[in-house]
Amino acid sequence: MASTALLQQAYLAHRDRLLRFVRARGAGDAAEDVVQELWLRIAAAPDPQAAAGLAYMMRTADRLMIDRYRAARQARLRDEAWAEAQPGLADNIAPAPDALRTIAARQQVEAVEQALAEVGERAAAIFRRHRIDGTPQRDIAAEFGVSLSTVESDLRRAYARIVDIRRAIDEA
Do 110 and 60 share a structural domain? no
Would residue 93 count as lying in a domain? Answer: no
pLDDT of residue 149: 94
Do 78 and 8 share a structural domain? yes
Do 80 and 9 share a structural domain? yes
pLDDT band at 125 (very low <50, low <70, confident <90, very high): very high
Q: From CA 54, how far away is CA 32, in angstroms rounded?
A: 18
Amino acid at 27: A
pLDDT of residue 91: 67
Domain residues for the domain of 12 are: 2-85
Would residue 74 count as lying in a domain? Answer: yes
pLDDT of residue 58: 94
**What total number of domains does the chain contain?**
2
pLDDT of residue 82: 84
Would residue 44 count as lying in a domain? Answer: yes
Q: At what angle do helices 54-85 and 31-43 cross, to 10 degrees?
A: 120
Would residue 94 count as lying in a domain? Answer: no
Say if residue 94's pLDDT is above 80: no
pLDDT band at 21 (very low <50, low <70, confident <90, very high): very high
Looking at the chain, the whole-number percentage of residues with pLDDT higher than 90 is 65
Do 118 and 64 share a structural domain? no
Q: From CA 100, how far away is CA 146, in angstroms rounded?
A: 42
pTM: 0.50
Do 132 and 69 share a structural domain? no
User: Which H or E element spans position 137?
Assistant: helix 137-144
The CATH number of residue 103's host domain is 1.10.10.10
Distances (CA, A) of 83 to 7, 70, 151: 46, 20, 46
Q: Which of 51-65, 80-94, 108-122, 144-158 has the lowest mean pLDDT?
A: 80-94
Q: What is the mean pLDDT of the chain?
A: 89
Say if residue 1's pLDDT is above 60: no
Averaged pLDDT, 27-55? 90
Would residue 143 count as lying in a domain? Answer: yes
